[in-house]
Structures are given as C-alpha cells and as structure tokens.
Amino acid sequence: MRLLDIISLLLGVLLAPLLPGIINRTKAFFGGRKGQPVLQLYYDLYKLLGKGAVYSHTTSWVFRAGPVVGLAAMLTALALVPCGGQGSFLKFQGDLLLFAYLLGLLRFFTVIAALDTGSAFEGMGASREVQIAALAEPAFLLGLSVVALETGSLSLTGIFERLSFETWASAAPALLLVAAAWLVVFLAENARIPVDDPNTHLELTMIHEVMVLDHGGPDFAFVLYTSALKLWVLGALLAALALPARTGHPAGDVAVFLCGQFALAVVVGAIESTMARLRLVRVPQLLVAAGVLSALALFLGLVR
Amino acid sequence: MNLLLAALVVLGTSALAALLSGRNARAAASFGVGGSLVGCALASIPVLRVLAGATLDPIRAGWSIPGGSFFVHLDPLSAFFLLPILFLGAVAAVYGGAYLPSHEGGAHGVPAAPPRALGPAWFFYNLLIASMILVVTSRNGMLFLMAWEVMALTSFFLVTFEDEKPAVREAGWTYLVATHIGTAFLLFFFVLLGREAGTLDFDRFAGLPLAPALASLLFSLAVVGFGAKAGFLPLHVWLPEAHPAAPSHVSAVMSGVMIKTGIYGLVRSLTFLGAPASWWGWLLIGIGLTSGILGVVMALAQHDLKRLLAYHSVENIGIIALGLGAGVLGLHYHLPSLTVLGFAGGLLHVLNHALFKGLLFLGAGAVAHSTGTRELDVLGGLLKRMPWTGAAFLIGSVAICGLPPLNGFVSEFLIYYGAYCGIAAPGRVAIPIVLSIVAGLALIGGLAAACFAKAFGSVFLGEPRSDHATQAHEASTWMIVPQYVLATGCMAIGLLSPWLIDVLIPVIEPLTGPVSADVLAPASHVLEGVTTVGIGLLGLIALLAVLRLGLLHNRTMGATGTWDCGYAAPTARMQYTASSFAQPLTDLFRMFLRSRKEPVALRTVFPESRHFATETPDVWRDLLFRPLFNGVAWVFGRFRWLQHGRVQLYVLYIAIALLALLVWKLG
C-alpha cells in the first residue's frame, strides 16, 4: 500500500464537507446573495457533535443504528474510490459492484430508520427514495460496465488508472453517454434538483431531507457527513471520468482531480440555480432515460 | 452411503410412529422432531464427507418394477443440494415442534379450533424430508419420479393442514394441479431419455449421442416439468397460494428447499443433454429476468406477509435461473469464466436462498402466531414487542436484498462478476449478456430493497396499527433459536465465501468440465476482497457505534413524539402504510399487476367515512390459466354424454375396448 492510497482516503474524509459549501456558494452567486461560508458544514458538524439528542417515543434501536450503519457503509465505499487516477485504499477486481451495493446498504438503513419514526412524511420520503434508487441503480451499473469494458478492468482503481484522453478519443460517444447518465444518477442519488430540492420548505415535497427530520445531535451530524461523503464518492467517479488528465506526477494528478470535484460542485450549483424541480411523476422517466443512455453506450462500446 | 439409508429409515419409522401416536400431540411432536433431527444428522455425515472430497460407492439394488432399480448415489452435486435440505429440514422441525401445538389456539378472541391430531402433520413432514433426500440422490428415472410424487403428495397434505378453511383447500387444489402438470412433462422427459438409453438409470443417460432436435425437446420438457416445481414464471401460480396456506415451518421448507429440487432436476438434466444450444441459455436468462423482475414487482403489491415472501421466492428462483443461463451461455460460447461463475453463483444462491428465506418464513410465522394476522397494514411497532424475532427478520431482509456483508450479496456478486467476464465474448454476444444480467440484477436488487424496507418497516417499525399488533408478544425460545441458527448461516456465508468457492468447484464440474486454476484463482481472490471489505464494514460499524455512545455519554437526552408538523392529534393510523409505501413502484409497473382499486368517490363537501381497498390477484392466474382451464373444462364437457351413471353402459364400454384391443392385436 502506497502513501498515496491513504492520502486519497484522507482527502475524501477531510474535504467531503467542502462540496455542499461550494454548491451553496454557487447558488448564492446566481441568486445575487453573499451566501453562507464555504466551511459552513464543518461548523454545523462540530456543533451537532457537541450536542445531546432527542428521540421520539416511537423509535427503536433501528432509528439509532441507521446513521451509524450508513456512515460506516459510506466510509467503506470511500476506501474503494480512487482519487482520480491515483490508487484507492482498498482495491480488487469487482470492487465496483461492492461500491454500488454499499450505496444500497446506506439507502436501506436510511429508509428503515425513517420508517421507524412512524411519521407519514418520513414514510412518504422513504417510499420516493426507494423508487428513485431502484431506477437509478441499473443506469449506474450499466455505465460502470461500459467504462470497465473500455478500460479492461473490473476495479475502480484499475479503471481510472487506465482511463485517459486516449480512451476518450477512441470511445468518445460511449463515454459521453455514460457521463450524461451518471450526471443524472449523481443528481438523483444526492437528492439535488431536478429530482429533489434540498432547500424546500414543505415536508410533503421533500425526498431525502424529510427522511432525516427526526434525527438530531451526533446522529444528525453522522447523517450530514454521510451525505457529504456520498456526494464526494459519486462525484469522484464522475470527475475522474470527465477529466482523466495525466500530469505525470501524482501530486499533479490529485490536483487535477480536486479541480474536477470542485468544478462538478459548481456545475451542480449552476443546475440548481437555473432549473426547476421536476414533477415527481416525471422523475422515473428521467431515470429510465439515464438507463437507456447507459445501455446505448454499452452497444456503442461493443459494436465498435 | 449406509448412513444415508439409515437416515431414510429413521425418517420413515419416525413418521410412522408419529402417525400412530394419533391424538397424543406430545408424542407425535417428539417422534416428528426427534426423527427429523436424527435423520438429518445421520445423512449430513456422508454429505459433508462428499463435499470435503471423498467419493462414495453408489448403492444399486434390483426392483420388480419395469425399468426401475433402487439406484442411489451421492456425488458433490447431490450433496450440495442435500446440505440445505438437511439443515433447513432439521431447523424447521425444531421450530415446528414449538409452533404446531400452539398453532391451534386462536389468537386474540378468535375462537380456538378444536384440537387437531398432530400425528399426520409430522408423518407428512418427515416423509417430505425423506422424499427430498431421495429425489436428489436417486439415479433411476422410476425411483426419481416416485420420490418426486411422494414429495408432491406429502407437501400437498402439509399445505392443507388447516383444511377447514376454504382458502386453504383452494390453495391445496391449485398446488396439486400445478405439480402434476409438471410431473406429466417429466414422465415424458424420462420416457424419451429412457428410450434413447435403453434404461432409466442415470449413469447411462450421460454422454448419449442425442440429435440436437431431440436434446432441445428434452431441454424444453425439463424446463417446463422442473420449472413448475421451481416456480418459473408463469408456472409460479401455485407458490403464492400454497406458501401462505401452509404452517410456517412447512412454508420455510417448501420455499427454502423443496422448490430447489426443481433447480436440481434442471441442473441434473443439463448434465445428460450434452453441449447446450445457445437458445437454452437465452431461454433461461429470459425466464430469469421475467421471474426475477415480475416476481419482486408482484411481491411489492402484496398485503399479506407470507404471500409477499412467496413472490420473493419467484424472484430468487429468477436470480438462480439468470446464473444458470449465464453458465449455459458460457458453455456454448466457450467462456470458462462466465461458465464457472454463472453456475457457481446460481447454485450458491440456492443455498443462500434456503437460509434467508427459511429465516424470513420462520419470522413471519412467529409474527402471525403472535398477532393472529399476516396483514401488513394492521401490524407495526413489533420490534419493541418481539425484539428477537425483529432483529432476525432484519438480518434476513438485508441478506435477501443482496446487501453486503451478508450471503445474498456473495451469490449475486458471482453472477454479476461472471457477466462482466462475459465482456470477453466474441462479437456481439456480449451485449445482451451484460445488458440483461447487469441491468436485470440491478433492477431486481433495487426493487427487492424497496420491498423489504416495506415489509420490515410496516411490520416491525413505527407504532402498532391495530390491537393485533399492540397485544403481540415475543415467540417462544424454540421458535427463536432456529431463526438465529439460520441468521448465523447467512453471516457465515457472507464472510467465508473465499473458502466456499473451493467446495463449489466439484459441484459444478459435471456441468462445466474440469475447472482450471486460472479461472478459479481470480474468483477466490475477488471473494477475499469482498470478505475483507465485509469485515472492515462490520468493524467500522462497531467503531462508530462506540463513538456515538461516547459522544452521547453524559449528555442530555430527551424523549418526545415524532415530528408531525405540529398536528394536534396524531394517531397510529396516520402512519404511511405498506400499500402507500409501495404505490409509486406498483403504479410504475401497473400493466403487469392490474391491481383492483375500489374507487373512492367523494361527492359531498363534508364526506363522512370512506372506504378504500386495493387487491392484486395473480395476473397470470387470472388472465392465462383461468381461461386455459376453463377452455379445457369446456372441451371435456363436450364428452359428458359418455358418462351418465348407468353401469350397464360402462360395462359395454369395457367390452368394446377389449374387443378393439383384441382385433388390433390379432390384425
């Protein structure tokens, strides 16, 4: 294990809460506001970790286990994700599947923790979450098959080590389709506009936010941090796919990768500022379209 | 091998002893449970030896039946299928020992049924286990069909245990018809094979020079005949009827292992039929996709916990069929990785499904037993009332959703990984392989997670929605211990998979031919990675749990009601129900479900109480089989004039038939 592998893990652990800050600042810029500090989430996490907690009488240990299992799943997923072309903490052939299913584990526990509160709002959010996830998963995994095919590796590290602008030159249409599909999956999985609005005021219209309404104190800090990590790991894949620059020096590669991550956050902020949220009945169509894009990319990659 | 025979004898005699104990429930249960435990323990010794690499001599004895011989053998394939049969058979028997006696008492005000003789129930249970052992070890077509028939009949009598209920009789009837239609195809299958081989002994079936058309015909017969038992869509219609009707330990055995004898039959037939045609693989993948996706979609629409689980068996059989289909395609296109990983994943899922589905059915039985209902929308909050059952059910749910680090993930992972290796397929074949398996499994996984979030959430979480749930109590010790034995199995396979793959290799070698090391080594290396991450994940969970406790230590902890936007008088009935939870997905797939909704018409400004109900009957039963059987009944109704109850006429028919035969024989 190289020092760099640990650094890619540490970068995620330390910098993940930066992404929501960048997104919010971008949205503030578009709205003509000054906006909250870029480090706001760090302050929030620090404050929440220092608090006590209030639990509903209805809840059981499942509610308390939800944030813990979710965070553990996300940290494990982070360990599998390379920092651009640089190695990840853990790697083996087939780890891309494990990565996808760790996201599934996080979702399952978030959903049952929400159902544990017995609230109709949280049930509604959970119901929407599982619907969106069930449709996003094929799009994501098919996209992974395409990049695995193009690079000849079944490990996230191997894929992104081998992915370069030459790969883009030879298979641009397929990779472009995958990038488009993944952007949709990225927005949907991270509960961003046009699928979900993190800033909505009405419980009835939320998806992700409503599921964590009842969490407080350290539990909520875990939940917020988990969301930031999810943004980081899915963003890492998208950034590494879209910007596979090789500078010839590890530090340079990492810098390029970080630029990609932050640029992605700016893009998300721009999308959130310029688009309206889709009606809920349209969301499945968007996700199925993403799945079709991935499938099409698979055809392009293989027919070549 | 003698131990295997001894096990059969023990199971048979204990069955008889249980039957003869008649109304003495305690004696019947002792014979039943004791016989199952001893029988399964005895049989497990040769099974484990074979899986560890020993080879045993077959037993062959003559038999007066034409074409029949008592020919049994235990090869790794048989031993692998016996493993879950014996394990789940013994565990479910212990559970049944605690479950059946108290099954009588009507819970919560339902008048108790008159005491029922438990002797027959144990008689049929032990015979069912014995017949399943014989099905997977017999090496003669006649013996196989007889064991198959005993298995069908004993499980029929177990399904109709509560035969005073019309719904149970209806379910039993459906099952009886379905299983015999399957057997009819199998009869044809064995007759054709036997004609080619000149005998019904299996050892002569392998390596027959079959014409491709005949091999394809035989394969189709096997798919229908064995598929009816396994529950391939659309032959699954008996599952959602029979599983809920049976007592829960029987549901566990039927769903966990009995339907797998269909998979065993199919796999065994594949070893007879020589090099497979490509369309066999595509057919299996097609069956896998339809059974897998539609099975879980139909499960999502159910309100009855055991019916939901029964549809999940259809889904999991679909996953197994996907694995087998991948293996067959790998054989056809000479892709060793796809072959080995497809078959290994499919067969490992057989074992995994036995563990988690057995666990879930036992949990569902404990819930039904404690609350007196299986209706999801009247349950809730049971985790506080039944903490042990609830935790076990959660483990089963995580496992069946294929989430790491439990066993369901490992087998699905192998199939996925095989499909990714299928990328190496020549030309354009790889597209449909990767597309169907990856997209199919991903969709099935997402929908299964939705379904089990719904099932676990509506039964165990939130507030109780009715008195049924409020008055629930934890199940007895001997109903809980079996659940944890199975849960331990789920954990163990999830974390010990690299060592399991070595056991699986001799099991699949009759199908794949010798497995070379360069296929095997990467696979076990990959599984080592899965195990490492699984252990790391569990370690992290423990670490974070300690961290959380440390953070909350000595802090102020409050308790209040759930946030409900300040509403003044929330009630438990305002919780999101299971039906509402599943509604977005069931609406998405409505063309495959055709749920009936009772419309709610709100006409006045201040409407009083309104009633809303949805029902999702099996669309295949209603739209495919009902018209089909009505048609058959109509055709045969045309011949009713032949039969009008006059004995003289029947004697005349017999005389005419004899005369015709005589003329035919002489002429």
Among candidate residues B548, B564, B599, the one where a domain is terminated? B548
Q: Are residues B402 and B539 in the same domain?
A: yes
Contacts of B583 in chain A (CB under 8 A): 127
- From the list A58, A68, A130, the residue facing B450 with the nearest CB is A130
Note the pLDDT of residue B554. Answer: 87
Does residue B454 fall inside a structural domain?
yes
Between strands B557-560 and A53-56, the pairing is parallel
Closest CA to B193 of B276, B108, B85, B271: B271
A203 pLDDT higher than 90: no
User: B274 pLDDT band (50/70/90 cuts)?
Assistant: confident
- From the list B403, B544, B565, the residue facing A72 with the nearest CB is B544
Task: Enter the DSSP assignment of B165.
Answer: S
User: Which residues are registered as beta bridge partners of B69?
Assistant: B62
How large is the average pLDDT for residues B537-548?
A: 95
Q: Where are the alpha helices (DSSP H) in B231-335?
A: 239-245, 248-253, 260-272, 278-300, 305-332
Contacts of B563 in chain A (CB under 8 A): 56, 117, 119, 121, 213-214
Does residue B202 fall inside a structural domain?
no
d(CA B471, CA B474): 10
Q: Are residues B426 and B318 in the same domain?
A: yes
Place of tokens 């009505």: B630
Is B315:B291 a contact under the CB 8 Å cutoff? yes
- From the list A98, A140, A149, the residue facing B404 with the nearest CB is A98
Closest CA to B346 of B320, B372, B366: B320
Tens digit of each residue's pLDDT (9 = 90 or more) over B174-232: 999 999 999 999 999 999 999 988 888 888 888 788 888 999 999 999 999 999 999 99
- From the list B423, B530, B556, the residue facing A52 with the nearest CB is B556
Tens digit of each residue's pLDDT (9 = 90 or more) over B403-429: 989 999 999 999 999 888 877 666 677
* Kind and range of the H or E run holding B217: helix B212-230
Q: Are residues B390 and B523 in the same domain?
A: yes
- Among A42-46, B66-70, B424-428, name the one with the lowest average pLDDT: B424-428
Dihedral of alpha carbons B563, B565, B568, B571, sign:
negative
Does residue B629 fall inside a structural domain?
yes
Which amino acid type is present at position B546?
Answer: V
Q: Are residues B539 and B636 in the same domain?
A: no
Q: What is the DSSP string of chain A?
A: --HHHHHHHHHHHHHTTHHHHHHHHHHHHHHT---S-TTHHHHHHHHHHTS-EEEETT--HHHHHHHHHHHHHHHHHHHHS-BTTBPPSS--TTHHHHHHHHHHHHHHHHHHHHHHTT-HHHHHHHHHHHHHHHHHHHHHHHHHHHHHHHHT-SSHHHHHHH--HHHHHHHHHHHHHHHHHHHHHHHHHTT-TTT--TT-S-GGG-SHHHHTTT--HHHHHHHHHHHHHHHHHHHHHHHHHH-----SSHHHHHHHHHHHHHHHHHHHHHHHHH-PPPPGGGHHHHHHHHHHHHHHHHHHHHH-
My answer on whether omega of the bond before B617 falls inside 30° of 0, hence cis, is: no
Query: Which tokens sit at A190?
Result: 């991270």
User: B104 pLDDT band (50/70/90 cuts)?
Assistant: very low
Q: Are residues B455 and B310 in the same domain?
A: yes
B511 pLDDT higher than 60: yes
Tens digit of each residue's pLDDT (9 = 90 or more) over B141-169: 999 999 999 999 999 999 998 888 898 99
Q: Do A111 and B453 touch (CB under 8 A)?
A: yes
Is A104:B403 a contact under the CB 8 Å cutoff? yes
B106 pLDDT higher than 50: no
How large is the average pLDDT for residues B362-380?
A: 91
Q: What is the DSSP string of B526-564?
A: HHHHHHHHHHHHHHHHHHHHHHHHHHHTTS-EEEEPPP-
Does residue B633 fall inside a structural domain?
yes
* Interface with B, mutate which of A106, A129, A131 (most B CBs under 10 A): A131
User: Which residues are registered as beta bridge partners of B560?
Assistant: A56
- From the list A90, A128, A218, the residue facing B548 with the nearest CB is A218
- From the list A55, A57, A90, the residue facing B533 with the nearest CB is A90
Q: Give the burial class of B137: count Cβ atoms within 10 A of its Cβ; 0-12 exposed, 13-18 middle, 19 or more buried.
A: buried
Is B93:B128 a contact under the CB 8 Å cutoff? no
Q: Any residues with CB less than 8 A from the CB of B501 and at least 6 apart, and which?
A: B344, B520, B523, B524, B527
Tens digit of each residue's pLDDT (9 = 90 or more) over B555-586: 888 888 888 777 777 788 888 889 899 999 99
Q: Are residues B380 and B477 in the same domain?
A: yes
Q: Do A59 and B562 touch (CB under 8 A)?
A: yes
Count of domains in chain B?
Answer: 2
d(CA A79, CA A88): 6
Q: Do A55 and B559 touch (CB under 8 A)?
A: yes
Does residue B351 fall inside a structural domain?
yes
Q: Do A119 and B564 touch (CB under 8 A)?
A: yes
Q: Do B453 and A130 touch (CB under 8 A)?
A: yes
Does residue B90 fall inside a structural domain?
no
**Closest approach of chain A CAs to the CA of B419, in angstroms?**
10
- As a whole number of Å, the end-to-end CA separation of chain A is 37
* Interface with A, mutate which of B407, B438, B553 (most A CBs under 10 A): B438
Contacts of B452 in chain A (CB under 8 A): 108
d(CA A67, CA A225): 10
Among candidate residues B514, B530, B548, the one where a domain is terminated? B548
How large is the average pLDDT for residues B71-75?
A: 91
Q: What φ, ψ does residue B292 adopt, rounded to 5°? A: -65, -50
Tens digit of each residue's pLDDT (9 = 90 or more) over A207-228: 888 899 899 999 999 999 999 9
How large is the average pLDDT for residues B252-279?
A: 92
Note the pLDDT of residue B108. Answer: 43
How large is the average pLDDT for residues B380-400?
A: 94
Q: Are residues B284 and B433 in the same domain?
A: yes
Contacts of A93 in chain B (CB under 8 A): 417, 522, 525-526, 529
Note the pLDDT of residue B613. Answer: 81
Does residue B205 fall inside a structural domain?
no
Place of tokens 């049952």: A112
Contacts of A98 in chain B (CB under 8 A): 404, 413, 529-530, 533
Q: Any residues with CB less than 8 A from the CB of A62 and at least 6 apart, and which?
A: A112, A113, A116, B383, B394, B460, B461
Contacts of B536 in chain A (CB under 8 A): 76, 79, 90
B113 pLDDT higher than 60: no
How large is the average pLDDT for residues A176-193?
A: 93
How large is the average pLDDT for residues A229-236?
A: 95
Note the pLDDT of residue B115. Answer: 60
A1 pLDDT higher than 60: no
Who wins on pLDDT, B218 or B26? Answer: B218
**Closest approach of chain A CAs to the CA of B462, in angstroms?**
4
Is 0.80 surpassed by the pTM of this model? yes
How large is the average pLDDT for residues A100-119?
A: 94
User: A304 pLDDT band (50/70/90 cuts)?
Assistant: low
Place of tokens 């091999």: B215
Note the pLDDT of residue B595. Answer: 83
d(CA A239, CA B597): 46
Between strands B59-62 and B596-597, the pairing is unpaired
Tens digit of each residue's pLDDT (9 = 90 or more) over A150-181: 888 888 988 888 888 888 888 889 999 999 99
Q: Are residues B513 and B633 in the same domain?
A: no
A229 pLDDT higher than 90: yes
Tens digit of each residue's pLDDT (9 = 90 or more) over B453-508: 999 999 999 999 888 888 888 988 999 999 999 999 999 999 998 888 888 888 98
Note the pLDDT of residue B426. Answer: 63
Closest CA to B511 of B281, B182, B217: B281
Q: Give the burial class of B256: count Cβ atoms within 10 A of its Cβ; 0-12 exposed, 13-18 middle, 19 or more buried.
A: buried
Q: Are residues B541 and B634 in the same domain?
A: no
Q: Do B561 and A56 touch (CB under 8 A)?
A: yes
Q: How far is CA A122 from CA A125, A234, B449, in A?
A: 5, 25, 17
Percent of chain B with pLDDT over 90: 57
Task: Indicate the average pLDDT of chain B.
Answer: 89
d(CA B433, CA B418): 10
Q: Do A104 and B526 touch (CB under 8 A)?
A: no
Task: Enter the DSSP assignment of B140.
Answer: B
Q: Any residues with CB less than 8 A from the CB of B566 and at least 6 apart, and which?
A: none
Q: Do B445 and A104 touch (CB under 8 A)?
A: yes
ipTM: 0.95
Does residue B308 fall inside a structural domain?
yes
Q: Are residues B328 and B474 in the same domain?
A: yes
- From the list A56, A107, A302, the residue facing B560 with the nearest CB is A56
User: A112 pLDDT band (50/70/90 cuts)?
Assistant: very high
d(CA B303, CA B593): 14
Which amino acid type is present at position B520?
Answer: L
B97 pLDDT higher than 70: yes
Task: Enter the DSSP assignment of B598.
Answer: -
- Residue B631 domain boundaries: 625-666
Note the pLDDT of residue B205. Answer: 86
How large is the average pLDDT for residues A223-245?
A: 93
Is B260:B81 a contact under the CB 8 Å cutoff? yes
Among candidate residues B501, B525, B548, the one where a domain is terminated? B548
**Closest approach of chain A CAs to the CA of B446, in angstroms?**
4
